[in-house]
Amino acid sequence: MSKTVLITGAAGFLGSHLCDRFLKEGFKVIGMDNFITGDEKNIAHLKNNSKFSFIKHDVTEFIKIETDIHYILHFASPASPIDYLKIPIQTLKVGSLGTHNLLGLAKAKKARLLIASTSEIYGDPLVHPQTEDYYGNVNTIGPRGVYDEAKRFQESITMAYHRFHGLETRIVRIFNTYGPRMRLNDGRVIPAFMGQALRGEDLTVFGDGSQTRSFCYVDDQIEGIYRLLMSDYAFPVNIGNPHEISISDFAEEIIKLTGTTQKVIYKDLPVNDPLQRQPDISLARKLLDWEPKVNRAEGMKITFDYFKNLSEEELYRSDHKDFSSYNNK
């Protein structure tokens, strides 16, 4: 008999790919999303799949599901600076109240829960590369704190349920991930650069471009998450690509890939923007026998081809979400 997995944030970038993966593995999948930052088109191809069902719901509200559930993956959350700066309260609530609701559901269903944490819990790190035993350097009251602290609390309450209730839990710390279904105008560097190139705009680098990032292709990320869920390890695990590159060098890569003739322009660095970001994946290699397989050149070409096929409306709209109601809750 097929086991059932509930995936919150199912219409988002990673959530929709997780739906695909679990269906491929033979699971019944229940997707849940309220479409604050998710997009219905990301799961439109699953509409006629008999093993997929969808519930439009905000996880910060009480969750009741009648059917048996064996696994829960909590991927509901704004995940880009543009989003969580516009909806700071909802960002905090989905990491706290939303996680609490899902922990209660997992306890009632005797399900295993995996939460999507983030490299942002390390803040602007003083340790490089970042290992799972590093506690981080986070400004709790800065503009990015709503996301960082939501995720840090999410980890804390998850471990509390694991220790106190004996709940089976898993924690994945996700580093920069990219691929098809990213929102073009969500503010993150890869869609930002590619969108600017496609619109014939100059590429915008914040700061002097010396800050670094490490980019993991979505298929590799999903594989790491799947292996972690099926493992017996309850503590956080970094899943990301350790190949580091400066933003200025990355801009040059995008120029070559896209063939744009536009120049690179520089603007002030946002408050608390991390200067270095690189995962130490020694633990993932040891526990999960996992490491990235897709090189950046290959992954970037696939991603750029996806963006090239977007409609002109999608290419030029600055933001397609109305967040006003969510900040009043």
**Residues with active-site annotation:** 147
Give the containing element (helix H, strand E) for 220. Answer: helix 218-229
Q: What does the alpha-carbon distance between residue 304 and residue 247 come to, in Å, rounded to a whole number?
A: 17
Residue 52: which of 76, 80, 25, 79 has the closest Cα?
25
Q: What does the alpha-carbon distance between residue 318 and residue 316 come to, in Å, rounded to a whole number?
A: 6
Helices (H), 246-295: 247-258, 282-288
Bridge partners, 47 (sequence order): none
Distance of CA 302 to the CA centre of its chain: 19
Pair 81, 118: CB distance under 8 Å: no
Beta strand ranges found along 70-134 (DSSP E):
71-74, 112-118
Find the largest Cα–Cα distance for the chain: 58
CA distances from 105 to 10, 18, 160, 328 (A): 17, 20, 15, 26
Cα-flanking dihedrals φ and ψ of residue 130, to 5°?
-90, 125
Q: How many other C-beta atoms are found inside a 10 Å radius of the C-beta of residue 66?
A: 5
**Paired tokens of 21:** 């993966």
